[in-house]
């Protein structure tokens, strides 16, 4: 009985996690496009502090 309750709790946590993850996932997708442009810019930014 306790094991079944634990499974329900674990499933509940998994169901609750995807809901908040979906919201940031959508934002991450939007940020994903600029992040790709930031990836090549990162080495350039590192070059400026070296100067």
Q: Is the pTM of this model over 0.85?
A: no
Q: Answer yes or no: is pLDDT of 48 > 60.
A: yes
For residue 21, the model assigns a pLDDT of 57
Helices of type H across 1-51 = 2-16, 18-50
Q: What is the SS3 assignment for 2?
A: helix
CA distance readout (Å), 2 to 10, 12, 13, 14, 16: 12, 15, 16, 18, 21
Structure tokens at 32: 């994903």
Q: What is the pLDDT of residues 20-41, one digit of tens each?
A: 555 555 555 555 555 555 555 5
């Amino acid at each position: 009985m306790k094991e079944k309750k634990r499974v329900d709790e674990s499933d509940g946590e998994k169901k609750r996690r995807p809901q908040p993850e979906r919201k940031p996932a959508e934002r991450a997708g939007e940020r994903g496009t600029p992040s790709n442009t930031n990836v090549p810019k990162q080495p350039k930014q590192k070059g400026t502090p070296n100067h």
